[in-house]
Amino acid sequence: MNKKELIQSAQVIEDLLKEEGLSRRDALKLMGIGGAAAMMGGSPLMAEEDGGGSSSDAKAKIVIVGGGTGGVIMAARLRRAASNAEITIIAPNDIHLYQPGQVFMAAGLYDEEDIKKPNADLMPDGVKWVKDEVLAFDPDANSVETAKNGKIKYDFLVVATGVEYNYEGIEGMSPDLVGKYGISSVYLSDPVKGTAKGGTATWEWFKQLRAAAEKASESDPVVALHTQPDTPIKCGGAPQKILYLSNDFLRGNGPTGGADVHKNVKSIFCKKGDKLFSLPEFNKTLTEEVTPMYGNIDDKWNHVLRKIDPEKKVATFEHTYYIKGEYDPDLEEYDMIKKMEMVDIEYDFIHLTPPMRAVKAVADSPLGWQKGTAKGWLACDRYTLQHMKYKNVFGIGDVLGIPLGKTGGSARHHGPIVQENLIAAMEGKDLPAKFDGYTVCPLKTQYGKIMLAEFNYDGPAPSFPLDPAKPRWIWWAFDLYMLKPMYWNLMMRGLM
């Protein structure tokens, strides 16, 4: 950490003591690796100089595809753990983006330069970096096809290609519309070019929304739509983070202040399903405390954005619902008949979350699930993260076609699992490590408050003896001041 970050961290510790009545020892524990690791993926797993966990001196060619969070984590871990392996990472991006920071960009608290670092600064010594793009996977031949370097062979493969934002999956939408016609999307980024337009455009959107609200009234409000698709998405809480932060900004909070004009905006949140969060304790906080706190949010269930007319500012949603059919005397209940209708909603501003999918090279290869709800995503075992068919292939991060795990915290937890199991595979041993589904969502409910939702395949999985369903300033302080330097200096070095 630099001097500024150290000063901020010291202040956070003092404020923690006052805020929660914690002892200095407990506060230091929270503020140390444990607290940050909680938001990055559970209790700390600090690596030793030799790499921590299992290691092997076997010779092997290991190829890692992807230069984002998962790819760099694995390059660092495997370089230490597999001393005689020839490790190659294939990634076209010169710039590494700290993507969780895009929400803080949207809130006016980070600039784009705050979330960028040269990828060269993160690449471990002894790892060969091929600046190229993988166009195709051929797991039957143990090779990948690159755009400029031809075929590259491997003995073991780690797929860390992340997700692809499918803006064109919404009729009438394209990435170049973000920042125009009242449209924003915090997700929009280009890892290859090293740009994060979504964060910048959404901060401008916040300010434009506020300017419009200052001229509106409660009786004639501005309409702000917020959408969430019916596909898996990275950081599933981000659509709600923008919903709540934008409304809190309208209340006069955030970096610019101002009068409370949020009642001059009608915020509509449209999503698949009929809950704000899948787990009851977190859903209760959001529905009974957070949403009523604002008083201007209208949740529209089972509304999925299918089409947009940017110039007319009309969004078309697929609305599914059920009606009561005939009574079944054997079951002693009515049949429920599923119905669908297309609904147009006019708006002034819209923040949309695009549908997401695995990158084409994975989806079109034998490595992707061939059918089912996870079709196209990397077909790995949900526990071992080993490919279901190709036992020398492992996955990490957002590309995995498993029930949970499209967060940075999950990728951080995948790292030691893949390390342990790949090393075991190199040694011809049974795979010892099991991923429990851990994921973490630091859900920003307002400026200065985060509800730290940690959970796994079995349900809630809190790391600390604090009510996880209560939004707290503690977690906001961690997220804003501490996680980024720990991401760069520890997580990307494979040290946590």
pLDDT along the chain (496 residues), means of 10: 45 53 52 50 40 83 97 97 97 95 98 96 96 98 98 98 97 98 97 92 98 98 98 95 98 97 98 95 97 98 98 98 86 86 98 97 97 95 98 98 92 96 97 96 97 95 89 92 92 90
Sign of the Cα pseudo-torsion (191, 195, 198, 199, in order): positive
Q: What is the pLDDT of residue 53?
A: 77
Please state whether beta strands 116-118 and 95-97 pair in parallel, antiparallel, or not at all (unpaired): antiparallel
pLDDT for the residue numbered 124:
95
Q: Counting Cβ atoms within 10 Å, is residue 346 exposed (0-12), middle (13-18) or buried (19+)?
A: exposed
- Residue 22, pLDDT score: 53
Pairing of strands 143-146, 134-138: antiparallel
The CA distance from 210 to 231, in Å, is 30
Give the residue ranges of DSSP H helices in 216-351. 238-250, 280-285, 291-294
- 0.85 exceeded by the pTM? yes
Distance (Å, whole) CA 245 – CA 210: 12
Which residues are CB-contacts of 288 (< 8 A; sequence separation ≥ 6)?
A: none
pLDDT, position 1: 41
CA dihedral 5, 494, 431, 359 (to 10 degrees): 90
Residue bearing tokens 């915290």: 409
CA atoms of 327 and 317, how far apart (whole Å) = 31
C-alpha–C-alpha distance, residues 85 and 83, integer Å: 6
